[in-house]
Amino acid sequence: MPLSNFIFDIVVSKLDVPKLVINDCSKLKVLTKFYKKEICLTSSRINVNQFNASSGTEFRALPSHLRDVLKNCGMAISVYVRDALIGNAQINFPNDYTNRIKDGMSDLNHKDTVHIVRKNQVVGCIEIICRLVIKCDDHLVTKEGIKMQDIMFLVSSRQHCPTDCDPCLDKLESNERDEYLNVDLQRYQNINTTGQERSNVAIKQIGRRLQKHY
């Protein structure tokens, strides 16, 4: 079975350590281990609610293996200030999250709050928001057919089709004024004059006729 390409992203939406005073957030960092990847979160991804652009971690894995690892191991978290360990935490993903990890899955989002523990004592709590996305491959069609995430519907207003809906110019119905003009032109086709004189006579006569009708 081929490996799937995944993208995992995570931010710390809330970090609360009551006995710790942090004057410089740049000294704060959170280390996480998701699957086989170690991810370091610095101040730009701590105490925020939005994912940073292009901050996701890419990796390749069998969906079944990734699912089993997350069920058994979850995600480990360590909080540091100036390289000093504040405490550790553990995220255990629910079954309704891990069971959805498969090829062709939709994006999986998870939010959780857990205790930060040091020497068996709770020293604070941490809230995380994470997202697991399966990256689209170059091949869009598999043995099962087109993947659901590769289908996009575009809805717009009905487009006007001049070819099918509009009559052609040479098929437009003639009106009463056209009939008058045709009669006048035919009436002067047999006048015995030269080309220029014939044109002048026709133009004058047509002008007088049209003035009466308009």
Q: Are residues 17 and 71 in the same domain?
A: yes
Give a yes or no: residue 34 inside a domain.
Answer: yes
pLDDT per residue over 19-65, tens digit each?
887 777 788 999 999 999 999 999 999 999 999 888 899 999 999 99
Closest CA to 82 of 33, 1, 25: 25
pLDDT per residue over 109-146, tens digit each?
999 999 999 999 999 999 999 999 998 764 444 445 55
Q: Are residues 140 and 179 in the same domain?
A: no
Confidence of residue 67 (pLDDT cuts 50, 70, 90): very high
Give a yes or no: residue 208 inside a domain.
Answer: yes
| Phi then psi dihedrals of residue 165, to 5 deg | -100, -35
pLDDT per residue over 90-111, tens digit each?
999 999 999 999 998 999 999 9
| Phi then psi dihedrals of residue 99, to 5 deg | -70, -15
Q: Are residues 44 and 9 in the same domain?
A: yes
What does the block give as tokens for 56? Answer: 């996701």
Q: Are residues 76 and 134 in the same domain?
A: yes
Q: With 0-12 CB in 10 A as exposed, 13-18 as middle and 19+ as buried, what is 75?
A: buried
Q: Provide the 10 A C-beta neighbour count for residue 34.
A: 24
Q: How many domains does the chain have?
A: 2
Distance (Å, rounded) from C-alpha 59 to C-alpha 8?
8
Give a yes or no: residue 156 inside a domain.
Answer: no
Q: Are residues 35 and 141 in the same domain?
A: yes
Q: Are residues 200 and 112 in the same domain?
A: no
Q: Are residues 92 and 142 in the same domain?
A: yes
**pTM for the complete prediction?**
0.63
Q: Are residues 113 and 185 in the same domain?
A: no
User: What pLDDT shows up at residue 88?
Assistant: 98
Across 195-207, average pLDDT:
59
Distance (Å, rounded) from C-alpha 101 to C-alpha 81?
34
Domain range for 209: 174-213
Give a yes or no: residue 86 inside a domain.
Answer: yes
Distance (Å, rounded) from C-alpha 10 to C-alpha 15?
14
Q: 134 and 149 in contact (C-beta within 8 Å)?
A: yes
Across 72-79, average pLDDT:
97
Q: Are residues 126 and 22 in the same domain?
A: yes
Q: With 0-12 CB in 10 A as exposed, 13-18 as middle and 19+ as buried, what is 52?
A: exposed
Distance (Å, rounded) from C-alpha 204 to C-alpha 213?
15
| CATH number for position 80 | 2.60.40.150
Q: Are residues 180 and 142 in the same domain?
A: no
Strand positions, DSSP E, 17-83: 28-34, 37-41, 57-61, 75-81
Query: CA angle, corner 149, sides to 143 and 150, nearest 5?
Result: 70
Q: Are residues 143 and 180 in the same domain?
A: no
Q: Are residues 109 and 54 in the same domain?
A: yes
Give a yes or no: residue 158 inside a domain.
Answer: no
Distance (Å, rounded) from C-alpha 68 to C-alpha 151?
29
